Amino acid sequence: MDAHGVMTLVAVGGGLAVLLWVLAKIGRALAGLAELLAALAVVGIALWGLVRAGAWIVRQLVTHWRTCLTLVAAWAWCRSLGWVSLVVTLAVLVLAQLVWWRLDAVSYDQWCGRWLRGWWLRWALYGRKLTGWLNACGLVVRDASVPVDVTVSLIGRGRGRGRNTVSRSENRTAGVAVPKLLSVRSGASWDEVRVRLVAGQTPEEFDDAARALAVARKVTRCQIRELEPDVVSIDFMRRDLLASPVTCLPVPDLVAVDGTGVDLRAVFAGATEYGKPWRLPLVGTGSHTLVAGATGSGKNSVMWCPLVAAASAIRAGVIRVSGIDPKAMELSYGLGIFARYGQSGKEALEVLGALLDELENRKRVFAGNTREVPISTEYPVELLEFDEIGALTKYTDRKTRDLIVEKLAILTTQGRALGFTVRGYVQEPTKDTVPVRELLPRRIAMRLTSKTQVPMVLGDGAYERGAWANRIPESAAGVGYVWGEGVREPLRVRAGWVPDQTIKQLEHYVTNGGAQVISLTDRRTGEGRSA
């Protein structure tokens, strides 16, 4: 090999050596960089996990602060005094609660029971099952890009593990979003389960699913209340407080009359499903009333119970009652309390004519002097009880029918400020049967024969929001629904049962002697109007 070849080999060898050295340096640098990146990744994952864990702890402390405080207190107690003392203390607390509950169940539930029950129901029932109920009732929002079978399988896997995948803090899994459970409140008869809606949902969707939710919870009644634009309360009736008949107020004793007054704007009529008194106005705004229900539904309890409660006002002459009784059976049993009474169409026209004469007289006296007649014995509340109103507003000759409807329309449109109140009772609540239906703003639906009759009485949307009047059993006479009194949800009530002997006692009380009644026309506070 000549000198040129040798030099070439030396040059190539030197170049390869330099290249290998450079590659070795680069490899060590890359290895160091890889180690650095790996270390940073590990640190980042650790920090991310710590942040998530901290956020979860904060959420639990905020959402379940009572439970967290209880656990912390129990841990501190065990650290300082031991497990035995904790068990003994818990046993004493349980025994004290049992004694308290047995001695005074009402105060126990008000101050202690409802909080413990709400906490327990959240963890033991609604926290575990609500997501499944909402999914089964179609109250979840699914991503259209994810197949339904995949979404359902994901939910099923979560439920099969004993905890639902979509019930985590975000309430989301692949392709599905579920309303978030905010809180559970438990009263004497109702559970209030508050949830936050997800984007794309409306409270009306929950209204439509109320019946399905009631079946899922295995209760007879479920009601939806809108608390905020994106928060609703799903209320489940755990116990029916209206299962037993409600007793009307007793008729005052003729001898022991003390002259106490009756609030004519809030007269006792029965009880509500929340265990509170149900009151009706016999004068003023909302006093014109239509009560609809099938035969035997308890319409006459709505008639007689307020009359018994206002017995002293009737006896004193602060209320003057008139009656129209086409079937001549119901009102005639207490005939003595009625200042005017009629049965036939002709007699009904005479009663209505007398009321209209008094109406015109009050116009002449008070026009330009006041906007509302002061109630007194000289100008009492003129209360008309019109039983089976449909018999004379549809099922009679045309001339009589038209005259009765005309006079009723005048009374209902002009009578409120002048102290006149009309209360009608009907079995068939159609517009043809009761042409003045829209002029009777307060509506009460007792047991009805069909679902379609509910909106006829209470208005559109009443059935969807829980007024299931067609589902009231025949054994629950006096139970009905009231809707539209300043609230979005129907109110279930039960009128006080008035036996025959009480009606006779009322008649005897009203027609014997005189009682003094405080006029409460100007009173705007106190017990307030009925719910």
Whether residue 174 is predicted with pLDDT greater than 80 in this model: the reply is no
Q: For the chain, what percent of residues have pLDDT higher than 70? A: 81
Q: Residue 315's closest CA among 499, 495, 523, 505?
A: 505
Q: Could you tell me the pLDDT band of residue 289, with boundaries at 50, 70 and 90?
A: very high
Burial environment of residue 136 by CB neighbours within 10 A (0 to 12, 13 to 18, 19 or more): middle
Give me the residues paired with residue 340 across strands: 322
Q: Stretch 207-229: mean pLDDT, rounded?
A: 91
Whether residue 182 is predicted with pLDDT greater than 50 in this model: the reply is yes
Q: Stretch 415-420: mean pLDDT, rounded?
A: 91
Q: Could you tell me the pLDDT band of residue 284, with boundaries at 50, 70 and 90?
A: confident
pLDDT recorded at residue 305: 95
Burial environment of residue 59 by CB neighbours within 10 A (0 to 12, 13 to 18, 19 or more): exposed
CA distance 204 to 383: 39
Q: Stretch 305-329: mean pLDDT, rounded?
A: 91
- Residue 193 in contact with residue 235, Cβ under 8 Å? yes
Question: What is the crossing angle of helices 127-136 and 210-217, to 10°?
Answer: 140
Q: DSSP characters for 428-467?
A: S--TTT-TTGGG--EEEE-S-SSTTHHHHHH-TTTTTTT-
Residues with Cβ < 8 Å from 263, sequence gap 6 or more?
A: 520, 523, 526, 527
pLDDT recorded at residue 151: 43
pTM equals 0.73
pLDDT recorded at residue 278: 94
CA distance 21 to 180: 62
Domains, the chain, in order of start with CATH, read 113-237 (3.30.980), 246-510 (3.40.50.300)
Whether residue 63 is predicted with pLDDT greater than 70 in this model: the reply is no
Q: Could you tell me the pLDDT band of residue 423, with boundaries at 50, 70 and 90?
A: very high
pLDDT recorded at residue 350: 94
pLDDT recorded at residue 412: 93
Please give the DSSP secondary-structure letter assigned to residue 424. E
- Residue 492 in contact with residue 468, Cβ under 8 Å? no
pLDDT recorded at residue 487: 63
Q: Which residue has the higher pLDDT, 14 or 475?
A: 475
User: For the CA atoms of 363, 365, 366, 367, what is the dihedral angle to 10 degrees?
Assistant: 60
Q: Could you tell me the pLDDT band of residue 161, with boundaries at 50, 70 and 90?
A: very low
Containing 354, the helix (H) or strand (E) segment is: helix 345-366
How far is C-alpha 389 from the chain's CA centre?
31
Q: Which residue has the higher pLDDT, 86 or 402?
A: 402
Containing 37, the helix (H) or strand (E) segment is: helix 3-63
- Residue 288 in contact with residue 420, Cβ under 8 Å? no
Residues with Cβ < 8 Å from 90, sequence gap 6 or more?
A: none
pLDDT recorded at residue 497: 95
Please state the residue numbers annotated as binding site.
293-300
- Residue 169 in contact with residue 57, Cβ under 8 Å? no
Q: For the chain, what percent of residues have pLDDT higher than 90? A: 43
Q: Could you tell me the pLDDT band of residue 358, with boundaries at 50, 70 and 90?
A: very high
Whether residue 406 is predicted with pLDDT greater than 70 in this model: the reply is yes
What three-state secondary structure class fits 418? coil
Cα separation of the two ends of the chain:
117
Q: Could you tell me the pLDDT band of residue 292, with boundaries at 50, 70 and 90?
A: very high
Please state the residue numbers annotated as binding site for ATP.
293-300
Please give the DSSP secondary-structure letter assigned to residue 517. -
CA distance 211 to 138: 13
pLDDT recorded at residue 167: 39
Whether residue 260 is predicted with pLDDT greater than 60 in this model: the reply is no
Mean pLDDT of the chain: 82
Segment 20-44, tens digit of pLDDT: 777 777 777 777 777 778 888 888 8
Containing 60, the helix (H) or strand (E) segment is: helix 3-63
Whether residue 153 is predicted with pLDDT greater than 60 in this model: the reply is no
**From the CA atom positions of the chain, what is the Rg in Å?**
36
Q: Could you tell me the pLDDT band of residue 529, with boundaries at 50, 70 and 90?
A: very low
Q: Residue 320's closest CA among 299, 301, 337, 303?
A: 337
Q: Which residue has the higher pLDDT, 31 or 504?
A: 504
Q: Could you tell me the pLDDT band of residue 422, with boundaries at 50, 70 and 90?
A: very high
Amino acid at 50: L
CA distance 494 to 305: 11
Q: How many residues does the chain have?
A: 531
Whether residue 150 is predicted with pLDDT greater than 50 in this model: the reply is no
Residue identified by tokens 């509340």 is 381
Q: Which residue has the higher pLDDT, 382 or 97?
A: 382
Burial environment of residue 30 by CB neighbours within 10 A (0 to 12, 13 to 18, 19 or more): exposed
- Residue 437 in contact with residue 290, Cβ under 8 Å? yes
pLDDT recorded at residue 148: 45
Q: Could you tell me the pLDDT band of residue 1, with boundaries at 50, 70 and 90?
A: low
Residues with Cβ < 8 Å from 360, sequence gap 6 or more?
A: none
pLDDT recorded at residue 154: 41
Question: What is the crossing angle of helices 299-309 and 500-510, to 10°?
Answer: 40
Q: Stretch 320-338: mean pLDDT, rounded?
A: 91
